[in-house]
Structure 1
Amino acid sequence: MALKKDKEKVLDEVWTEQRVKDFLEVKPAEDIEADFHVLLKAYQSMRLENFEEFVGFFTAEGRNINATNPNGETALSIIKQHRASEEYATIMSANGAK
């Protein structure tokens, strides 16, 4: 028996400023630092221009761009592992990520 996909892939979603800001409120699992979690989720979900806008809101709130996961990895260190992530990594570095 074949399983049917219940969701279609959405292309060219509209990312309003409010939707980008809403990512600042994404709640992590209990053992994940909130700042790390929202940065990684924003990277995984947003196009480059929306991610850049998000990082601006994130840093304006004084949040920790160098937050780590339980393994001590930063969002930047994970982003750098992906082959098409150079521009995302540049945005992070320009905003103080190490």
Structure 2
Amino acid sequence: MKKDKEKVLDEVWTEDRVREFLSVEPKAGTNADFHKLLKAYQSMRADDFELFIGMFLESGGDINATDSAGRTVLSYAREHRNSTEFVAALEKNGAA
């Protein structure tokens, strides 16, 4: 059986590609800013994520937005062992 998708490694992220995450729509009942940040965190490399954060903040996004459990993207990132650069980018930009 043939795979539907090939895994893409070291994908090149242009500014336009990063900016697309500003329009990611959440499921009903999910904070839109939290959803955008989480999807960017899950999808991007640290450098691209830091670029996204700048765009996100410029568009009026809330870096401390929470999910339904009251958790921020920073709180999730801190739980992952390879997220040091992501945590630093969030903290540098005002995440608490």
Query: Shorter-chain TM-score: which interval?
Result: over 0.9
- Show structure 2 runs of 5+ residues with no match: none
Q: Percent identity?
A: 56
Whichever residue aligns with residue 30 of structure 1, its letter is: A
Aligned-residue RMSD, C-alpha: 1.0
TM-score, normalised by the number of residues in structure 1 = 0.93
Match for residue 48 of structure 2 among 22, 32, 50: 50
CA distance in 2, matches of 1:55, 1:25: 14
> Which secondary structure state, in structure 1, belongs to the residue aligned with residue 66 of structure 2?
coil
Task: Decide which structure has the larger Cα Rg and report it.
Answer: 1
CA distance in 1, matches of 2:3, 2:42: 21
CA distance in 1, matches of 2:48, 2:84: 15
* Deviation of 1:31 (Å): 1.5
Q: How many residues align?
A: 96
CA distance in 2, matches of 1:46, 1:27: 17
TM-score, normalised by the number of residues in structure 2 = 0.95
- Show structure 1 runs of 5+ residues with no match: none
Whichever residue aligns with residue 41 of structure 2, its letter is: Y
